[in-house]
Structure 1
Amino acid sequence: MSHEIRTLADDEQITEPGFYRISLDRHHSQPCDGPSVTSGVLRTMEKKGPSKVWAYHQLNPNRFEEKRSDALRMGTAMAAYIEGGLAGLEAEFQILPENAPSRPTAAQINALKEGRETETARRSITFWSNVRKDGREIVSQGEFDLLAAMGAALAADPAAAAVLGGEPEITMAAFDERTGLWMLARPDNMNFDGTLSDYKKVNTQGRPFNQTLCSHRTEDHEYTMQMAFAADVFERLTGIWSDQCGLVFQEDEPPHDVILLPIPEEDLRIGQFLNRQAMTRFRECLDANHWPGPGEVITPFHRNPERREALLERMQTAGAAP
């Protein structure tokens, strides 16, 4: 199979397995000629269940609008900066100057409509109208300075620079015959030698930035599933199972230290197992048009076992054991 990376036209769908250059938004917006799943969908199936997946899914005509968190916005901005430097960041984000006016209030907008606005209100309304027309997402000057400092620290780390030295933000598409679903993986960086990596910006919230914290974050967010999904799709496209698969963590506090966290083979296989179970469940829910929530199966209250034993012992002592 060819390792060519194709740029997909705006009016074109993915109809063949391969490597594609498409926007992140399009990656998450069902770009194939059949239903597709991403790592985020599968991790949500595993951690939160089908109802949470369907609530925000592109195939749901009554879906809720998903809010874009500051963490995701800054992560996307950092990925753009790593990929293309300042030019790459400015292609996707507009940088607000430090002296940007405050957003206009409803009262100021109404005053403008009625022809009685102040000069301050006019400047605010004009500025933010131009921001909206621009269409790119926003980073403040302070956020940009942080991205530049982190980017410089990342580039100065030889190991991180090597891991992130392949093709950035490539959508890898493979068709799964078992479920009839397209699998779309998009690690932050992919190299045809089998190196797959994803970058994670970390706010430690006062805790030490170390391997233990990175491992906890990996388990909490099921990043092993994410990397196993990339390894699985990469193998389907190239015949190569990645033995160089891992995460690049960077602290957002100076000096912006970097930790590389390779994912062992056993954990990748565990992630692969969880991904395939989640794909099967997604297919079943899609076919049945039924996306159960956590309350569908009724289970009784479960007290903490240690607390239960202590209480039963007290009741036994008091001659009131059940």
Structure 2
Amino acid sequence: MKPWITEPGAYPELTEEQYHADPVVGSSLSSSGARTLINETPLHFRYQRDHPQPAKKEFDFGHAAHLVVTGSGSPIVEVPHDNWRTNASKEAAAAARAEGGVPLLTRDVEHVEAMAEVLRRHPVAGPLLMREGVGEQSFVGRDPESGVMCRVRVDWMPKVAAGERLILVDYKSAADADPRHFGTSMGRWGYHCQGPFYVDVLHWLGLTAGPDGDPIEPLFLLVAQEKEPPYAVSLDRPDDNAFAWGRVVNRKARDVFRECTEIGRWPGYEERVHDLSLPGWLIRDYELAESAGHFDTASDIEEALA
């Protein structure tokens, strides 16, 4: 697919496949790409961009649960097979993806529908996801400082009146949605970076103005749902400190992206000899063992021979 987008704006017609293929002329940076630049290296980013990976079944699973509730995104295609090991099931999955669908085995469709029903019954997340709104909305904005074009795709945006605070909802399927632990997942997967990345693109596009014309920070919400019964749901918001650090990381990612694009070089790890230190926990274990005499080889031999 040849890129065609040249100007910042909202692009509701973009399919998920087109979005991930980067439709912006001259390339653009997504939130996940920014995290790869910082958490890995520009070399990893460039390789992933040039060698896109095929869809994974676990991603289909989370996508489908979100789709059932909001009715947005790629359609679910039920594959009437028991597993993905047969040629017939693999061919059916490939055909579904070729048509822009999300293939799921029959048992997984039932599983997803059960997850969706729990979501609908949630007293806060349910009304939020089922009220009038738009899903899978793509936006492209230009960072005024770096000049980097950035793109985002919002899972769900409930309809609000003109001048009201925008709400950006991102659905996450998870092994553990407990809010006491989900902050760890947020840090590990970079959701604290994703939030301000999305919010700032909308700021740059002038879509966050309040009644007096001043921008109002959109509310970024994470709807986390466990993938196993009873499919518990938590509604979470990265706090102000998390957002602040996320913006620091995002700024660095945009600067790295701009520099690598300008010079045409995407380096990996630093090209020098790296000194490696033992982890602190292992040093503490060694110190405790030494103080207990466990490294006294002579005494160990004498005890063994006694």
* Fold match (TM-score > 0.5): yes
1:201 equivalent among 173, 182, 197: 173
- Hey, what's the Cα distance between the residues in 2 that align with 1:297 and 1:98? 52
Distance 1:260 1:103, change over 3 A: same
Q: Is the 8 A contact 1:38 1:185 kept in 2?
A: yes
Gaps of 5+ in 2: 210-214, 296-306
Q: CA deviation at 1:311?
A: 5.7
Instruction: Give the corresponding residue for 1:82.
Output: 69
Gaps of 5+ in 1: 1-9, 58-62, 105-123
Instruction: Give the corresponding residue for 2:195.
Output: 227
Q: Is the 8 A contact 2:152 2:201 kept in 1?
A: yes
Instruction: Give the corresponding residue for 2:77.
Output: 94
One-letter amino acid matched to 2:78: I
- Hey, what's the Cα distance between the residues in 2 that align with 1:101 and 1:52? 29
One-letter amino acid matched to 1:52: H
Q: Is the 8 A contact 2:41 2:269 kept in 1?
A: yes
Runs of 4+ in 1 over 4 A off after TM superposition: 98-102, 127-134, 305-315
Q: How does 1:240-279 map to 2 (within 5 A)?
A: 240-279=215-254
Q: How does 1:274-289 map to 2 (within 5 A)?
A: 274-289=249-264
Q: How does 1:21-60 map to 2 (within 5 A)?
A: 21=12, 22-57=14-49
TM-score (norm 1): 0.75
Please give the per-residue CA displacement for 1:228-282, whole angstroms capped at 9, x wherever unaligned: 1011112222243435222110111222111011111222122112111101101
Instruction: Give the corresponding residue for 2:8.
Output: 17
Instruction: Give the corresponding residue for 1:7.
Output: none
Report the identity percentage.
23
1:190 aligns with 2:152: no
Distance 1:298 1:92, change over 3 A: farther
RMSD: 3.0
Find the residue that maps to 1:33 and give its secondary structure.
coil
Q: How many residues align?
A: 274
1:171 equivalent among 133, 138, 147: 138
1:215 equivalent among 178, 183, 194: 183
Please give the per-residue CA displacement for 1:1-36, whole angstroms capped at 9, x wherever unaligned: xxxxxxxxx998333322221111111222123321
Q: Is the 8 A contact 2:70 2:156 kept in 1?
A: no
Q: CA deviation at 1:97?
A: 1.5
Instruction: Give the corresponding residue for 1:4.
Output: none
- Hey, what's the Cα distance between the residues in 1 that align with 2:135 and 2:285? 55
Q: Is the 8 A contact 2:82 2:107 kept in 1?
A: no
Please give the per-residue CA displacement for 1:120-166, whole angstroms capped at 9, x wherever unaligned: xxxx5xx8656644534410011101111111111111210243343
One-letter amino acid matched to 1:186: R
- Hey, what's the Cα distance between the residues in 2 that align with 1:199 and 1:158? 16
